[in-house]
C-alpha cells in the first residue's frame, strides 16, 4: 500500500508503540494517587513534559496535555473567550481554519461573541494587513493556523505575531497541528501565546496532544473535575499516551522534512507536465502536502479508483470528507466549483520513498483517461 494521507493521520512509529505498551503496563496507576505507583506515573508524565518543553525551548509548566488538536484548539479559543470576556467579546480568525477552530468560533457567535473571518488570497494565504484591519477595541484573540491542512499553504504567522505586539491586550493562538516538526516556528519571535499540537500527525498515537500556554496567559477550563494539568484540563492523565507523545516528538529531531519536500516537488513537477492537472498548493507551502484537481473527474471518484491500486489519498480534511460538501478552503480561495469538486490531497511522511511517487504518477496516467472516457460516455 502507498499511503499518501498523512495529513489525516500518520502510521505510529514502532518505537512509539513500544513506549506506549511498556508504559501502559508499568505505569498504569492513577497519577493523582498518593501511593508510590501513582507517584511513579506522575513522574513519567512530568519527565515527558520536561522533554517536550526542552525541545521547544519553553518552560515545562507551559505544556498542557490534551487528547489532541481538536481539544487543544477548543481549549485555547473557548478558554480565552470565557476567561477574558470582561475585556472584550471579539475574535479574529480566518476562513481557512480547521473545523475545530472554525466551528469553535461559530459556537462562540451563538453565545454572543462576534468573530471576523479573514479571507485568504487566491494562493490560500492570509495577509497580515487584513488581520490588523479586523482588530477592534473589543478583540481579545487572534487565531491563525500555521499550515493549512488542505493546501499546505504556510501562513505568515511570524509577521502576524510581530504586528500583534502593538496590541498587548490581544492574545495570539496558532493551530500548529500540520506544521509542528515540519515547518520551523520560533514561538518567541512570533509572539505566540497559545499553540496546538496533535500526536497522531507526528507518527504518534490518536488521542494524544498538548496545548502550549505561555506564562501569564489564562484559559477557563472546558471540563469540570479533579483539576489535573494545573487546573486547566481535568481528567485522569493518559500516562502511556503522554510518554508515547514525547517519544514521537523526540524522533522528529532525527527526521529531515526537506527529504519529504524532495518527493513532493518531484510529484509536483510531474503533475505540471500533465495538462489535465490544476495545482492549488502554492510554492510557499509545507513540505508534505500537495493539493490539486483533475477537472471533470470528481475527487471521491478518483480517491476510490486510486484505492483499487492500493494508493491512499483524500479529498478534503478528514474531519469534513464524509459531509459531502465542497471545500470551504477552496471556496475562500475563489477556486471554481468544478475544480473544487475534483480536488484531491496527497500528504507524505518520512516513510515514503521515490518509487512510490513514480508509481503514483503511473497510476494517474492509467486511471485518468479511463475515468474521463466513462464521464464522456455518460454525457
Query: For position 292, which CATH number holds?
Result: 3.90.1150.10
Distance CA 242, CA 261 (A): 29
210 in the same domain as 65: yes
203 in the same domain as 124: yes
Residue entry with cell 481554519: 97
Last-in-domain residue among 183, 218, 253? 253
Give the predicted TM-score (pTM) of the model.
0.95
Q: Give the per-residue SS3 of 38-70.
A: HHHHHHHHHHHHHHHHHHHCCCHHHEEEECCHH
pLDDT given for residue 127 in this prediction: 97
135 in the same domain as 239: yes
246 in the same domain as 146: yes
Distance CA 89, CA 270 (A): 48
Last-in-domain residue among 231, 253, 275? 253
CATH number (domain holding residue 209): 3.40.640.10
174 in the same domain as 48: yes
Angle at the Cα of 295 (from 293 to 299), degrees rounded to 5? 55
CA 301 → CA 217, 244, 293, 295, distances in Å?
47, 37, 12, 12
Q: Is 105 a catalytic residue?
A: no
For 356, phi and psi rounded to 5 degrees? -65, -40
- DSSP letters, 288-349, are TEEEEE-TTS-HHHHHHHHHHTTEE-BSS-TTTGGG----HHHHHTT--HHHHHTEEEEE--
210 in the same domain as 166: yes
Block mean pLDDT (10 aa), the chain, length 379? 97 98 96 96 98 97 98 98 97 98 98 97 97 98 98 98 96 98 96 98 98 98 93 95 98 92 97 96 95 95 96 75 74 95 96 97 96 79
282 in the same domain as 189: no
Looking at residue 211, what DSSP letter applies? E
318 in the same domain as 195: no
Last-in-domain residue among 200, 219, 253? 253
Query: Of these residues, 17, 319, 363, 371, which one is catalytic?
Result: 319
187 in the same domain as 70: yes
pLDDT given for residue 318 in this prediction: 47
Domain that holds residue 313: 2-9+256-377
pLDDT given for residue 373 in this prediction: 83
pLDDT given for residue 376 in this prediction: 78
Q: How many domains does the chain have?
A: 2
Q: Which three cell numbers stand for residue 301?
A: 471518484
Amino acid at each position: 500500500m502507498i499511503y499518501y494521507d498523512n495529513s489525516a493521520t500518520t502510521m505510529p512509529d514502532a518505537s512509539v508503540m513500544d513506549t506506549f505498551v511498556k508504559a501502559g503496563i508499568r505505569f498504569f496507576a492513577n497519577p493523582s494517587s498518593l501511593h508510590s505507583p501513582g507517584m511513579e506515573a506522575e513522574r513519567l508524565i512530568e519527565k515527558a513534559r520536561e522533554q517536550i518543553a526542552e525541545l521547544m525551548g519553553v518552560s515545562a509548566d507551559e505544556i498542557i496535555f490534551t487528547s489532541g488538536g481538536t481539544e487543544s484548539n477548543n481549549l485555547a479559543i473557548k478558554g480565552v473567550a470565557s476567561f477574558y470576556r470582561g475585556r472584550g467579546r471579539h475574535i479574529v480568525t480566518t476562513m481557512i481554519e480547521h473545523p475545530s477552530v472554525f466551528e469553535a468560533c461559530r459556537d462562540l457567535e451563538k453565545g454572543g461573541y462576534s468573530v471576523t473571518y479573514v479571507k485568504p488570497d487566491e494562493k490560500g494565504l492570509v495577509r497580515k494587513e487584513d488581520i490588523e484591519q479586523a482588530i477592534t477595541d473589543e478583540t481579545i484573540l487572534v487565531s491563525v493556523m500555521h499550515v493549512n491542512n488542505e493546501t499546505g499553504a504556510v501562513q505568515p504567522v511570524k509577521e502576524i505575531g510581530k504586528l500583534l505586539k502593538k496590541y498587548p491586550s490581544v492574545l495570539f493562538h496558532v493551530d500548529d497541528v500540520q506544521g509542528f516538526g515540519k515547518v520551523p516556528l520560533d514561538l518567541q519571535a512570533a509572539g505566540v501565546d497559545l499553540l496546538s499540537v496533535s500526536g497522531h500527525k507526528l507518527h504518534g498515537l490518536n488521542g494524544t496532544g498538548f496545548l502550549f500556554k505561555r506564562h501569564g496567559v489564562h484559559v477557563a477550563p472546558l471540563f469540570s473535575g479533579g483539576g489535573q494539568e494545573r487546573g486547566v484540563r481535568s481528567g485522569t492523565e493518559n500516562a502511556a499516551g503522554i510518554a508515547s507523545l514525547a517519544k514521537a516528538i523526540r524522533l522528529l529531531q532525527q527526521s529531515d522534512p526537506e527529504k519529504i519536500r524532495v518527493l513532493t516537488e518531484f510529484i509536483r513537477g510531474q503533475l505540471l507536465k500533465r495538462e489535465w492537472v490544476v495545482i492549488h498548493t502554492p510554492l510557499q507551502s509545507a513540505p508534505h502536502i500537495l493539493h490539486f484537481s483533475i477537472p471533470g473527474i470528481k475527487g471521491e471518484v478518483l480517491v476510490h479508483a486510486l484505492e483499487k491500486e492500493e494508493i491512499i489519498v483524500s479529498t478534503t480534511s478528514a474531519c469534513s470528507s464524509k459531509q459531502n460538501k465542497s471545500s470551504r478552503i477552496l471556496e475562500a480561495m475563489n477556486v471554481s466549483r468544478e475544480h473544487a469538486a475534483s480536488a484531491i490531497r496527497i500528504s507524505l511522511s518520512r516513510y515514503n520513498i521515490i518509487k512510490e511517487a513514480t508509481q503514483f504518477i503511473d497510476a494517474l496516467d492509467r486511471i485518468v483517461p479511463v475515468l474521463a472516457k466513462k464521464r464522456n460516455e455518460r454525457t
